[in-house]
């Protein structure tokens, strides 16, 4: 991760892509595994991922939700995951830091964990992501709202799928169409009447972003 002083209670845009623009998510299993990393590795203490693996060995049909409920110790989160989107060759996150060096530690943990999983599954070695995790400070409330639309609807902006029912984005949670325990949309939704109001805001901005993206591509060509 590039040199950037992360501050507690501040919001950041975190993103990265596959090395050589390669796909980093090949199927549903990969998406689920990445989201699992975001969940279990978001903790000040290590051990939840290992404990979950041990649980599956003894109880192959165990449910993650039940496992987390039965965990004795209280979660000590490094960050709040505000929004996310997983595209075939890259991902976007909006994070709010809760602990000192929380974002730095969190990104390092899930990047190493997912790379190890992906390499073992696909019998490959070496780096998976393109350099260090990229990050940018979100300085204003307006910027936070705008960027939430960019992240939540990123699959739509890239022409991958409509964001409404895309399983690998937090947008459906914001639109109140799906419950999602991974992300915490309250900081964003507090600025809107309800999920429908946010839905309209995000879709309108996403449409504009998609047009600008096409125009930029034409200029490059």
Span 126-162, pLDDT tens digits: 999 999 999 999 999 999 999 999 999 999 999 999 9
**Long-range contacts, stretch 44-49, CB < 8 angstroms, 24+ apart:** 44/76, 44/77, 44/78, 44/99, 45/73, 45/76, 49/113
pLDDT on residue 175: 93
Confidence of residue 52 (pLDDT cuts 50, 70, 90): confident
Token digits of residue 16: 């990265």
Domain range summary for the chain, segments of one domain joined by +: 11-42+77-220
Confidence of residue 1 (pLDDT cuts 50, 70, 90): low
The answer to whether residue 74 scores a pLDDT higher than 90 is no
pLDDT on residue 18: 97
Query: If you write DSSP's letter for every residue of 52-94 in order, what string do you get?
Result: HHHHHHH-TT--HHHHHHH-SSPP--SEEEEEEEEETTEEEEE
pLDDT on residue 217: 60
The answer to whether residue 183 scores a pLDDT higher than 90 is yes
Task: Look at the domain 11-42+77-220 and name its fold.
Answer: Alpha-Beta Plaits (3.30.70)
% of the chain surpassing 90 pLDDT: 74
Query: Is the pTM value of this prediction over 0.75?
Result: yes
Confidence of residue 61 (pLDDT cuts 50, 70, 90): confident
Q: Exposure string (b/e) for 31-55, b if CB count within 10 Å is 16 or more? A: bebbbbbbbbbbbeeeebbeebeeb
Span 14-32, pLDDT tens digits: 999 999 989 999 999 999 9
Average pLDDT, stretch 54-75?
Answer: 79
Span 160-175, pLDDT tens digits: 999 998 999 999 999 9
The answer to whether residue 207 scores a pLDDT higher than 90 is yes
pLDDT on residue 221: 38
Average pLDDT, stretch 48-56?
Answer: 83
Q: Exposure string (b/e) for 162-187, b if CB count within 10 Å is 16 or more? A: ebeebebbbbbbbbeeeebeebbbeb
The answer to whether residue 219 scores a pLDDT higher than 70 is no
């Amino acid at each position: 991760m590039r040199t950037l002083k992360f501050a507690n209670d501040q919001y950041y845009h975190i993103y990265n892509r596959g090395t050589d623009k390669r796909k980093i998510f090949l199927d549903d299993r990969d998406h689920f595994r990445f989201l699992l990393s975001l969940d279990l590795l978001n903790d000040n203490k290590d051990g939840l991922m290992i404990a979950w693996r041990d649980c599956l060995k003894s109880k192959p049909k165990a449910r993650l939700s039940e496992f987390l409920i039965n965990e004795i110790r209280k979660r000590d989160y490094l960050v709040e995951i505000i929004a996310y989107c997983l595209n075939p060759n890259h991902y976007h996150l909006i994070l709010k830091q809760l602990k000192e060096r929380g974002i730095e530690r969190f990104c390092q943990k899930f990047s190493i964990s997912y790379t190890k999983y992906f390499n073992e599954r696909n019998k490959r070695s070496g780096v998976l992501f393109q350099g260090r995790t990229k990050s940018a400070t979100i300085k204003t409330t307006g910027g936070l709202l705008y960027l939430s639309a960019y992240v939540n609807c990123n699959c739509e902006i890239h022409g991958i799928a409509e964001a409404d029912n895309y399983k690998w984005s937090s947008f459906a949670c914001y639109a109140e169409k799906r419950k999602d325990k991974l992300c915490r949309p309250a900081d964003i939704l507090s600025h809107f009447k309800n999920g429908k109001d946010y839905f309209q805001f995000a879709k309108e901005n996403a449409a504009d972003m998609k047009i600008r993206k096409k125009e930029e591509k034409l200029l490059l060509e």
